[in-house]
């Protein structure tokens, strides 16, 4: 009897991990394409228009392309549009308060913020929507009203902490409490898996922090400490992103209210007789 060099459970786990990574990469398609456009535009010489204006047209073109290819539905586009509006409002207030800036010139700017800036948040909305489709997401134990209330408070705190005490710590605790017992179920290949929703927020927040470092390196925007030369984004922003993810997720969840959950794949079991 030949003993396999690699145990079958390990092979299956590795295969599932690779498939999960591939599904995540597909879910990030809009965000990756957007960041790639930002990076390429930063090194192209002699652009016919201001870079920020070109990036707006590029982002709109990506949105239309994804819809035309069927990668995003009309409902997804609505979620992404709301994320764009929420993000643009966020950017306008933060830029006015000096949290960061868009130093390059542009025609299509609103209160110092190029209109393409909202697409950085729309990309997160695209990721959540595509993950929902590609991995058949389903929430168990989700409390929509409580979670939405905490997510709204999280969003407002990013503004009010400039004048009032920062409630980020208490809000993080409240969010964890609101998500206690909430799991997100998803499909990877033939496996039906689950994960605490709070852990999903933490993981997404970490990768958003990495993406933010790449974006600022490419000049998508600049923090005050980066104006004289690029430096890494503070690690504390990781926690901020993990909190901010809740806003996007609530918007996506609202758009899917009433949608029946996917049925887990049924694996036939061997039938045994009482005498066996």
pLDDT tens digits for range 153-201: 999 998 888 898 989 999 999 999 999 999 999 988 888 889 999 999 9
What is the model's pTM?
0.83
Cβ-based neighbour number of residue 261 at 10 Å: 12
Asked whether the predicted pLDDT for residue 209 surpasses 80, the reply is yes
How far is C-alpha 73 from the chain's CA centre?
Answer: 17
- pLDDT tier, 227 (very low <50, low <70, confident <90, very high otherwise): confident
For residues 154 and 86, the answer to whether their CB atoms sit within 8 Å is: no
Q: What is the pLDDT of residue 85?
A: 92
Q: What is the pLDDT averaged over residues 2-17?
A: 73
- The conformational region for residue 229 under phi > 0 = left, psi -120 to 50 = alpha, else beta, is left
- pLDDT tier, 43 (very low <50, low <70, confident <90, very high otherwise): confident
Boundaries of every domain in the chain: 8-224+235-255
- pLDDT tier, 266 (very low <50, low <70, confident <90, very high otherwise): very low
Let me know if 163 is exposed, middle or buried by CB neighbors in 10 A (0-12, 13-18, 19+).
exposed
Q: What is the pLDDT of residue 262?
A: 53
Percent of the chain whose pLDDT exceeds 90: 39
Asked whether the predicted pLDDT for residue 58 surpasses 80, the reply is yes
Q: What is the pLDDT averaged over residues 12-41?
A: 88
Mean of pLDDT over the chain: 85
For residues 38 and 55, the answer to whether their CB atoms sit within 8 Å is: yes
The pLDDT tens digits for 229-262 are: 788 888 888 888 889 899 999 988 888 765 555 5
Q: What is the pLDDT averaged over residues 15-25?
A: 87
């Amino acid at each position: 009897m030949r003993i396999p060099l690699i145990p079958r459970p390990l092979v299956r786990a590795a295969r599932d991990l690779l498939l999960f990574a591939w599904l995540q990469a597909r879910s990030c398609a809009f965000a990756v394409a957007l960041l790639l456009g930002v990076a390429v535009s930063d090194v192209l010489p002699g652009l016919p228009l201001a870079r920020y204006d070109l990036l707006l047209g590029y982002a709109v073109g990506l949105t239309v392309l994804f819809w035309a290819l069927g990668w995003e539905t009309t409902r997804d586009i609505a979620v992404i549009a709301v994320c764009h509006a929420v993000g643009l409002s966020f950017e306008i207030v933060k830029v006015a308060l000096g949290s960061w800036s868009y130093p390059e010139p542009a025609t299509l700017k609103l209160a110092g913020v190029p209109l393409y800036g909202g697409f950085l948040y729309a990309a997160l909305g695209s990721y959540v929507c595509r993950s929902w489709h590609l991995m058949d997401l389903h929430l168990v134990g989700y409390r929509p009203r409580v979670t939405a209330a905490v997510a709204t408070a999280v969003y407002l705190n990013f503004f009010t902490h400039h004048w009032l005490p920062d409630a980020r710590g208490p809000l993080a605790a409240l969010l964890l409490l609101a998500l206690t017992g909430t799991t997100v179920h998803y499909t990877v290949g033939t496996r039906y898996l689950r994960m605490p929703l709070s852990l999903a927020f933490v993981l997404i927040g970490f990768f958003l922090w990495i993406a933010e470092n790449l974006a600022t390196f490419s000049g998508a925007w600049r923090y005050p400490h980066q104006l004289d030369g690029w430096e890494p984004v503070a690690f504390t922003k990781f926690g901020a992103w993990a909190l901010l993810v809740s806003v996007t997720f609530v918007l996506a969840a609202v758009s899917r209210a009433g949608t029946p959950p996917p049925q887990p794949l049924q694996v036939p079991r061997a039938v045994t007789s009482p005498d066996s």
